[in-house]
Amino acid sequence: MKKLLGVFLLLMIILISAILIRSALSSAPVNDDDDYAANAGYIRELMTLDAAWSLATLKAYNTPDSNLDQVAGFLPQVREARINLESSSLTAAEAPSVLKNKLSRYLLLIEGKEVVIEHFKSNFAVIRNSVKYLPLAAQALTQALRSAENVEINDEIVDLFERTNSFLRNPDEGTRMRLLIDLSRIHENVMSYPPDIANPLSNFTSHARVLVERKMKLDDSIERLAEQNVQQAGEELLASYQNYREDLQAKQQKDRQLTFLINLGLLALLILLGVLSALFLLVTDFSFSKRLAAEVAAKTEHYEKTIAEVSSPSLDKNLSESLDGMGRMAAVLAHEINTPLGYLGGNLQVLYNGMGKIQSLMGEVKAMLEDVAEATDLEEVGRRIEAFNDVALGLQEDAMLDELPEIAEDMQSGIDQIQHIIDDVKDFTRKDRSSSDWFDIRQCIDRAVKMSRAEIPESTRIDSELTDAPNIFGSPAEINQVLINLINNAAHAIEDAGREKGAIRIKTSIEKNQLVVSVRDNGQGFNDDVRRRIFDPFFTTKDVGKGTGVGLAIVRRIVANHGGKVMVKSIPGKGSNFAFVLPLNSIKNKETDAV
Amino acid sequence: MLCIGYMPTIHAGTPLTNEPIQPIPLTVDVDSAKATLGRELFFDTALSADGDISCASCHNLKEGGADTGKRYSIGHNGSEGGINSPTVYNSSLLFRQFWDGRAETLEDQADQPVTNPVEMAARWPDVLARLYENPSYPNKFQQIYSDGITRENVKNAIAEFERTLLATNSPFDQYLRGNENALTAKEKKGYELFKNYGCHSCHQGVNVGGNMFQVFGAINNYFEERGNITKADLGRFNVTGDSADKFVFKVPSLRMAKYTAPYFHDGTQKTLLDAVNAMFRYQLGREAPDSDKEAIIAFIESLAGEHLEMKK
């Protein structure tokens, strides 16, 4: 008897150990949650830094006088995030090679990005300076040429200056090469001129060359920053890491289920043995079986919990996390748009709430009208009117109706803001600012007035008298620039005249199949001497530093490019009238060109 | 948080926040035990092969943190280096270390002079052995670093000390913080000119430089006119091998320029006026009257801050 009991007990100990060992073994390898969370966190961190880095760089590009400390400040953070990933278990020998390849590709792209940003910073700094200085250098040079009475290369300099400027607006390889050749030809001969020409000439050609050489490099780095490939590589890495993890989990889940079944069998055996032992022990060791029962209960609870966990895998929170890697730039935009959308939505809600009341008012009106039409019972009509009155009063008390205009205004400004944001994005992404299209001159004028208004004192009135005109084919951006230049000149002339009340009048008319746009001011005007030279590049009556004297030269060039011409009349002390004509009959030709 | 240098003068004016230059922070977050150990190492000649050169030999903390007056520093066995020794003051604010930016951190930087044959010319195992023989180092290291004296820990301690070397409270920083009287009229005019001529396109940020690379000879070719091109002249190209990086250097900080003549990586410019002249010619490609240059120099000198090490 005792021997049998001993065998039972031995078996039970073995079984219990087996169960404990199995459960210990089966839970151990699943416990890599922390590892996964940490690695996914590192990837996401680098992705966030990457996006913020691009944004900071692009922001510096768009901010005058920005300093690049912030952009440089990303370096240590990126380095740390990179080191975290490089030393993570993702690079361990047992990590799958697909994952390792994706990681090393991502890290390489991040490294490449650093190079792009460094080149951006260097080119940006130089270009920012030379863009500012080139007109001054050109001005100094033409002055030197004028006083040396050397007109021979003056025209060429003017031409080079305009070509350089137009290259900066629309850089292309062909123009770049031609400009570089022309510039270096002049630069090589610098020494053949006397020093008072050689120095400004060398300054001018050097700056123009630097601009031409670096502009496309700068654009290239900006384009590369705006590309999403680094971000995508990060997303791909994260996605494949998640897949890998899910596969791993599925496999482990299967293992766990199997383990669970085996454990269940062992447990059944254990219970059976326990019962048998209890029968043998019965009275002598009751407490033992009681302890066993408690243990069995605890174990069962443990497995029930396991079953519960296995059968309802906690909805993968990583799924939602993976979404936040997608284009953080888009997130910033979304944020910008979100605010105006917020009050658009809020106001719509107000309208929607009010709508119910208006509807019930309408219902009352309808019922009242029906009753009045039948008019059998005056008392009934009276009650109807009262009911109607109640609803109407309620609506009035609600003040919703009073608020309607305000609500509409708010919503309009929300829409305007979104439009503004979208315009900004469009402006930023538009590569070719001077691309041609059919456009309405009236809209163009409206826009130019709005844009210049910001810098013109309120005491100056700008009004316009615009006739109906067919659409024009050309570059709205360039015509816009023409208008802005003319309006600004008019404003400066008014300011110089010290007028208390300035007036700028913009008028369009159609004469002999030509569109005439005139900008008239009551500024100080100018005499014939000035009028003759007014379109010469670098000719300016403004103080040094206030104007480069190229504004009107640009006006004339753009108008000429559109097949038109610029005319000017002025009476000293009274004001000036600048007008440009654009031929309407050339539209057909332009149209075929465009197709 | 360790407060370094001097307490700022308190003033009522409005700080200037939208300037391309920002003041050097008045406090820095360092481990002061590490920094103290780092200081000891900074001055210790045990880091060099012959026990005759320390970091401080070529980075004289009393005189602006560089090897003042020397074009190139003298290293092991009297050999001359190939590049001008820059200041260690404010070096923690540089985006990268060395003229060619080859080190990303102060730690990486501290590693290199130790083994450079024309600098300390030592071997790390020998250096560590010497440090172990020192009566106090083993104990001091052990108290801070669980693994005692290692190459990494020596570098870390030195770097930690260097992070405390912020020269703060310069007249210009006081001006930025709102004290309008901290600058003379000439210095203020110099700052305006500095911006108008576009110097701040590159010399900008908290360190007035040190946050980007730039080609030396952006407008006119410096090296062609100077001649005798050395390997050090190739600058960043030596690190990347990219031909676009030839003659490209980290833009140096102007913060301590007042004290650190001669100038440029090749130490060719003996005075600030020489350096400013060369910058106008090669980087800005334009002329300026002498009075403008003098004002700019006055402004540059107002950028130098103070540090207790300068008075020790």
- What are the tens digits of pLDDT across the range B97-122? 999 999 999 999 999 999 998 899 98
User: Mean pLDDT: which of A24-33, A150-159, B288-297 is highest?
Assistant: B288-297
| Contact state of A68 with B204 under an 8 Å Cβ cutoff | yes
> Coil, strand, or helix at residue A270?
helix
Name the pLDDT band for A537 (thresholds 50, 70, 90). Answer: low
Rounded mean pLDDT, A185-209: 90
- What are the tens digits of pLDDT across the range B43-61? 999 999 999 999 999 999 9
Rounded mean pLDDT, A257-270: 71
| Contact state of A121 with B206 under an 8 Å Cβ cutoff | no
**B-chain residues within 8 Å CB-CB of A210?**
218-219, 285
The least confident of A4-13, A217-226, A523-532, B178-187 is A4-13
Structure ipTM: 0.89
The least confident of A239-248, B91-100, B118-127 is A239-248
Among candidate residues A229, A206, A299, A248, the one with its CA nearest the CA of residue A39: A248
Distance of CA A13 to the CA centre of its chain: 68
Residue A419, class by beta-carbon neighbours within 10 Å (0-12 exposed, 13-18 middle, 19+ buried)? exposed
Distance from CA of B51 to the nearest CA of A (A): 34
Strand-strand pairing, A502-511 and A460-465: parallel
Residue B299, class by beta-carbon neighbours within 10 Å (0-12 exposed, 13-18 middle, 19+ buried)? buried
pLDDT of the residue at B219: 92
- What are the tens digits of pLDDT across the range A302-321? 544 544 443 333 333 333 33
Residue A501, class by beta-carbon neighbours within 10 Å (0-12 exposed, 13-18 middle, 19+ buried)? exposed
- What are the tens digits of pLDDT across the range A555-575? 888 888 888 889 999 999 899
pLDDT of the residue at A23: 60
DSSP letter assigned to residue A467? -
pLDDT of the residue at A82: 92
Distance from CA of B172 to the nearest CA of A (A): 17
Burial pattern A221-244, b for ≥16 Cβ within 10 A else e, equals: bbebbeeeebbebbbebbebbbeb
Alpha helices (H) in A375-505, listed in sequence order:
378-397, 400-429, 441-453, 476-497
Residue A351, class by beta-carbon neighbours within 10 Å (0-12 exposed, 13-18 middle, 19+ buried)? middle
Are B259 and B304 a contacting pair, CB within 8 Å? yes
- What are the tens digits of pLDDT across the range A431-467? 344 567 788 888 889 878 877 776 788 888 999 898 8
Are A300 and A289 a contacting pair, CB within 8 Å? no
Chains A, B: CB pairs < 8 Å:
80
Distance from CA of B210 to the nearest CA of A (A): 9
Coarse DSSP helix, strand, coil percentages of chain A, rounded to the nearest 5 percent: 75, 10, 20
The least confident of A244-248, A416-420, A548-552, B171-175 is A548-552
Phi, psi of A451 (to 5 degrees): -70, -40
B190: its two tokens: 């110099």
Alpha-carbon span B212 to A449, nearest angstrom: 40
* A119 and chain B in contact, CB less than 8 A: yes
Mean of the per-residue pLDDT values of chain A: 77
Among candidate residues A519, A521, A549, A520, the one with its CA nearest the CA of residue A535: A549
B35: its two tokens: 């920094």
* A76 and chain B in contact, CB less than 8 A: yes
**B-chain residues within 8 Å CB-CB of A67?**
20-22, 200, 204-205, 211
Residue A410, class by beta-carbon neighbours within 10 Å (0-12 exposed, 13-18 middle, 19+ buried)? middle
Rounded mean pLDDT, A3-23: 66
Burial pattern B37-55, b for ≥16 Cβ within 10 A else e, equals: bbbbbbebebbbbeeebbb
Alpha-carbon span A382 to A377, nearest angstrom: 9
Phi, psi of A202 (to 5 degrees): -65, -40
**A-chain residues within 8 Å CB-CB of B286?**
133, 137, 203
The least confident of A258-262, A339-343, B55-59 is A339-343
Are B250 and B96 a contacting pair, CB within 8 Å? yes
Distances (CA, A) of B235 to B104, B139, B229, B250: 15, 41, 11, 9
